[in-house]
Amino acid sequence: MTARMAAYQALLHLEKRRIHPDELLRSILSRYAHLSSVDKAFATELVYGVLRWQGRLDWHIGRLSKVPLEKIDFSIKVILRLGLYQLLFLDRVPSYAAVSEMVKIARSTHSRHLSSFVNAILRRASERSSDEWDWPDVAKEPIKHLAVMTAHPEWLIEKLLKTMGYDEVEAFCRANNIVAPLVLRVNRIGREEVIQWLKENYPNTSEITPTRYAPYGVIVRGLRADISETEIYRAGFIQVQDEASQLVAYLVDPLPGERILDLCCGFGIKSAQLASIMNDRGEIVAVDVASWKLEALRENMARLGISIVRPVQGDVLELDPNRIGFFDRVLLDAPCTGWGTVRRNPDIKWRSHPRSPWRMSNLQKELLDRAARFVRPGGILVYSTCSVFFDENEQVAFNFQRNHNWKEISPQGLLEKVFVCKEEAATFVDRGFFKTMPHLHGMDGFFGAVWQKPK
């Protein structure tokens, strides 16, 4: 087993199953103890690189192959994508190695004529320089040009152009192709203690700095270790959580002793942060339909030393206030297309359908109406997503505002409570809603709306 073969197997699985790439890679690489840390890092680079640039890699295949892309077996496409990614994006990999190693995989898994096909395509690619490709003309085909150059589906670009200018859409797409840093949230100890510990134990890490906005966040780049295997993680002093996700908790603005409801809580990352803000005093009811996620939530709460989170398994749309009561604050972190997290989950680009945002918005409207039923008079309701689409964000919020005479709460004042530079809070507010974007804020794309129920 080589790093390239491990990457090939992972990409094959991803074509067949809807599973997080990181979770799949951990599973595959754990089976091969003989692979060095360098090999494992290379396999990870190959998988994420191919997913990140898949659209552009397929465009190259279309230019090199006489066989139409849609008629090429998907397993051969995976081999070609892996080879082309090494040839076109990894300067440190010699061309001959990229070609020969992928041909070896083709020979060991396919017939001779298919391995010959792979060899021919990759050799043609290796002989071309970047200025020898007939790139789509930006003046004649601006959407196709942007789709190919930034590896994003054309439907996505067309959709974003309805609410954003061309230059901003390009900036967004390019930001999505920048590898996101590891972001941590500090728990129970000081942020400087965590930064110092990481610097002492991993001195070769390229960057360990505090987040600019979230008061307990740490940005880490170039860590040559699995953070979940570190002593500081096992001790419950850190939680992996993007800065934008951390800021959402401050929209909820919970107080110690209050009763909080976290709907669609998933693994409870935000539940844990809310509990931390509350000094582990009060009650947080965390609801999700997936029992396996709630089991992981329980384990994580134990690791973090949190006692006030009570997991409840169930469908939010079937949940009744008579069963679980009313709450001071309700957070609906709604299921969404996840397009704000493409830097970390590049497979979203190729799994999403043009109608996905519209379909999700219908569910989100239902969930938000249901969530409102659990808010006590005078209580707070927060709606959040990790999407960038108007359909899932502003449109859902506007729909709620039309149907409910609730007071809108500006996110700016809530963020000013925690920002060191209070003036910067305004840069996170758009049309009265909380909004982050990777090309503007250097963090995942999140949306948040806050309302207060009449007393």
CATH number at residue 209: 3.30.70.1170
Tens of pLDDT, residues 271-282: 999 999 999 999
Q: What CATH number does the domain containing 311 carry?
A: 3.40.50.150
Q: Are residues 374 and 312 in the same domain?
A: yes
Residue 347 inside a domain? The answer is yes
Q: pLDDT, tens digit, for every residue of 360-400? A: 999 999 999 999 999 999 999 999 999 999 999 999 999 99
The 10s digit of each residue's pLDDT in 118-161 is 999 999 999 998 888 999 999 999 999 999 999 999 999 999 99
418 and 302 inside one domain: yes
Domain-located, residue 219: yes
Average pLDDT over residues 99-121: 96
The whole-number pLDDT of residue 34 equals 85
Of 316, 311, 203, 212, the C-alpha closest to 267 is: 311
Looking at residue 27, what is its pLDDT? 86
Half-sphere exposure of 241 (CA within 13 A, CB side): 25
Distance, in Å, from the CA atom of 223 to the CA atom of 204, rounded to the nearest integer, reads: 8
Q: Taking residues 278-294, what's their average pLDDT?
A: 97
Q: Give the pLDDT confidence score for residue 26 in this predicted structure.
A: 85
Residue that terminates a domain, selected from 202, 225, 240: 240
Tens-digit pLDDT profile for residues 201-224 = 999 999 999 999 999 999 999 998
**Predicted local distance difference test score (pLDDT) of residue 23:** 86
The CA distance from 344 to 180, in Å, is 6
pLDDT digits (tens, 9 = 90+) for 227-276: 999 999 999 999 999 999 999 999 999 999 999 999 999 999 999 999 99
Judge whether residue 33 has pLDDT over 90: no
Task: Examine the pLDDT at 346 and tell me if it is beyond 90.
Answer: yes
Residue type present at position 54: Q
Could you tell me if 45 and 160 lie in one domain?
A: no
Q: Is the pLDDT of residue 11 over 90?
A: yes
Asked if pLDDT for residue 440 goes beyond 90, the answer is yes
- pTM to 2 decimals? 0.94
Per-residue pLDDT, averaged over 297-304, amounts to 98
Q: How confident is the model at residue 1 (pLDDT cuts 50, 70, 90)?
A: confident
Q: 325 and 208 in one domain?
A: no
Same domain, 186 and 289: no
Residue 49 has pLDDT above 90, yes or no: yes
Are 335 and 250 part of one and the same domain?
yes
Give the model's confidence band at 426: pLDDT under 50 very low, under 70 low, under 90 confident, else very high: very high
**CA distances to 74, 153, 342, 402 from 349, in Å:** 17, 7, 7, 32
The residue type of 186 is: V
Q: How far is Cα 447 from Cα 387, in angstroms, rounded to an integer? A: 7
265 and 368 part of one domain? yes
Range of the domain at 215: 182-240
Region 8-30 average pLDDT: 87
Residue 447 lies in a domain: yes
Joined together, the tokens standing for residue 336 give 């969404």
Same domain, residue pair 309 and 398: yes
Q: What is the pLDDT of residue 219?
A: 98
CA distances to 149, 156, 267, 274, 304 from 214, rounded to whole Å, are: 33, 30, 20, 14, 19
Mean pLDDT of the chain: 96
Domain count, the chain: 4
- Residue 2, Cα to own-chain centre: how many angstroms? 28
**Domain shared by 12 and 60, yes or no:** yes
Half-sphere exposure of 384 (CA within 13 A, CB side): 30
Residues of the chain with pLDDT > 90: what percent?
92
Cα Rg for the chain, rounded, in angstroms?
24
Q: Does 48 lie in the same domain as 83?
A: yes
How far apart are alpha carbons 334 and 264 in whole angstroms? 6
Query: Are 362 and 435 members of one domain?
Result: yes
Q: Are 361 and 392 in contact (CB under 8 A)?
A: yes
User: Mean pLDDT over residues 355-359, rounded?
Assistant: 97
3-state secondary structure the chain: CCHHHHHHHHHHHHHHCCCCHHHHHHHHHHCCCCCCHHHHHHHHHHHHHHHHCHHHHHHHHHHHCCCCHHHCCHHHHHHHHHHHHHHHHCCCCCHHHHHHHHHHHHHHHCCHHHHHHHHHHHHHHHCCCHHHCCCCCCCCCHHHHHHHHHCCCHHHHHHHCCCCCHHHHHHHHHHHCCCCCEEEEECCCCHHHHHHHHHHHCCCCCEEEECCCCCCEEEEECCCCCHHHCHHHHCCCEEECCHHHHHHHHHHCCCCCCEEEEECCCCCHHHHHHHHHCCCCCEEEEEECCHHHHHHHHHHHHHHCCCCEEEEECCHHHCCHHHHCCEEEEEEECCCCCHHHCCCCCCHHHHCCCCHHHHHHHHHHHHHHHHHCCEEEEEEEEEEECCCCCCCCHHHHHHHHHHCCCEEECHHHHHHCCCCCHHHHHHHEECCEEEECHHHHCCCCEEEEEEECCC
Q: Give percent of the chain with pLDDT exceeding 70.
A: 100
Whether 19 shows a pLDDT value over 90: the answer reads: no
21 domain-assigned: yes
Q: Quick check: 438 pLDDT over 90?
A: yes
pLDDT at 190 over 90: yes
32 pLDDT above the threshold of 90: no
User: Is 137 within the bounds of a domain?
Assistant: no
At residue 103, the pLDDT reads: 97
